Amino acid sequence: MPEKASTREPYRPPDPLTAKLDPVMSRIERFWLRVSDGLKADQLWKQFQADARASYRLYSADVDATLEAGVPKWKHYLRLVGQFFWAVMEKLSPARRVLLLVALVLMFAPSQGSWQNGTETVFLRFDGRFWGAALLLLLLVLEVSDRVVMKRDLQIAKEIQTWLLPSAPPSVPGLEIAFATRPANTVAGDYYDVFPRMCRDGGRHTFLIAIADVAGKSIPAALLMATVQASLKTLAPTPMDVAELVGKMNQYACTNSQNGRRFTTAFVAEFDPQSRELSYVNAGHNAPILRRASGAMERLEAGGIPLGIMDAPAYSSAAVTLAPGDWVVMFSDGVVEAENAKSEEYGEDRLTYNIHMGATQSPAMLLQRIMSDIDIFVGTAPQHDDVTCMLLKAV
C-alpha cells in the first residue's frame, strides 16, 4: 500500500531572538493593560476628550473672554492667558501655588551661569529643568492623592444614596411601575420613591409616589436630596392629605434652603388602588404627562411653587382616575434638557413621541426605549444634569 503523506509540519528549532523577545513583549503588554485598564485607543481618546471638556468648563468659568473695544488682539489673548493661569492657581492650596511657581521658574531658568573670582571665571551648571519637572511630578502626586481620597468618599456617598432610593418598584395593585436614574456626577440630586402608606381611615393602604429634583448637582444637591427623602418618610405616617403633606415638606425645606437658593422641585402623589384615584401636588416640577388609553394627553400641573422658596405658600391638589391602559410619565428636567454636541435639547416632543409609540409596551420596555433614545440623541456630548424617569401604567 502506498504510504500516506504526512500532514505534520517539519520540526523547526525555536528562534533565539523570538525566545528573548516574548517575555519582554509579555511584560510590556501587561504594563499597558494595567495603564489603560483594557480600554482601546478610541475609548481612551473619547475619555480624554470628556476629561478635557470637563476641565475646560471648570477653568473657563473664571475667564472673561469678552473682547474690549480698542484693545489689540495680542493684549486680549495675553489677558486671557493670565486669567486662565490664575483660574488654575486659585484651585490649588497656597503651598501648592508656591510649589508650582518654583517649578515653572526652575524650568525656564538658565542652566549655566558664571562669575568672576579674581582672575578666574567660575562656571556653574544647574539643570533647572530636571528639578522643575521633579517638582511638577511632586505636585501631580499631591493632587492625585486628594483625588483618590475624594473619589473614595464619593463612592461611599454613592452607596449611601443607593440605599435611600428603591432598587426595584414595589408591587402596587392596579399599576405597573418602572424607574431609572443616571447621575451627572457620582452622586445625584434627583429623588424618586414609591412606598405604601396607611390610609387615613386605618383600614387599608394607599401608595405614595414621589419624584424630586434639587437645584444644583453633585454633593450639595445629594445632601439636600437626603433631607427631602427624610422629610417625606417622616411625614408619611401622619394622617393628612397630599397638599398638607407637601406643605409640611416645604416648611422643613425652608430651614435648609439658604433663603431659597437651594430649592427643590417635587411631584408627590397618592394612589388609592381601590378607587384607582391618583391625588397629586406639583411643587414646581416638570408637569408629568398623563396619556389616556385613547391617546389623549393631559398635564398634571396643579400644585404650587418649589419647596424651600417661601415658608408658607398655599399648595393645591388635584385628582385623576386612572383607567386600564392609562400612562403617567414623570421625569426630571435632565430628560428634556439633555443636550447633544450641537447644544440642541432633547425636548418634550421626542419624549411624547416615544410615549405614543411605546404605549402598548410594558413600563420597563418603554423606559428602556426612552433612555436609549436619549443616549442616541446625546451621542458623545457630556451629561450636564441628572436624568430620572418614572413610568406608571394602569392595568
Same domain, 75 and 92: yes
Distance of CA 94 to the CA centre of its chain: 30
Instruction: List per-residue pLDDT tens for the chain, 395 residues long.
Output: 555 555 566 666 666 666 666 777 788 888 888 888 888 888 888 778 777 877 877 788 788 888 788 888 888 888 888 888 888 888 888 888 898 888 888 888 766 555 556 666 655 566 778 888 888 899 888 888 888 877 787 788 778 777 888 888 889 999 999 999 988 877 778 899 999 987 666 567 899 999 999 887 778 888 888 888 999 999 988 888 899 999 999 988 888 777 767 889 999 999 999 999 999 999 999 999 999 999 999 999 999 999 988 887 789 999 999 999 999 999 999 999 999 888 899 999 999 999 999 999 999 999 999 999 999 999 878 888 889 999 999 99
CA–CA separation, 347 and 378 (whole Å):
12
pLDDT at residue number 322:
95
- Tell me: do 173 and 155 sit in the same domain: no
Q: How many beta carbons lie within 10 A of that of residue 386, not counting itself?
A: 27
248 and 265 share one domain: yes
Q: Are residues 107 and 228 in the same domain?
A: no
Same domain for 245 and 138?
no
**Residue 373: which domain range?**
165-394
Which domain CATH number covers 223?
Answer: 3.60.40.10
Interatomic CA distance for residues 3 and 246, integer angstroms = 93
Closest CA to 98 of 144, 135, 55, 143: 135
Characterize 122-154 residue by residue with b for buried, 16 or more Cβ atoms within 10 angstroms of its Cβ, and e for exposed. eeeeeeeeeebeebbeebeeeeeeeeeeeeeeb
Torsion of CA 182, 334, 265, 194, to 10 degrees: -40
38: left (phi over 0), alpha (psi -120 to 50) or beta: left
Q: Which residue has the cell 430649592?
A: 263
180 plus 107 within the same structural domain:
no
**Number of domain units in the chain:** 2
In terms of domains, do 201 and 322 share one?
yes
Nearest-10 crossing angle of helices 41-60, 73-89: 100
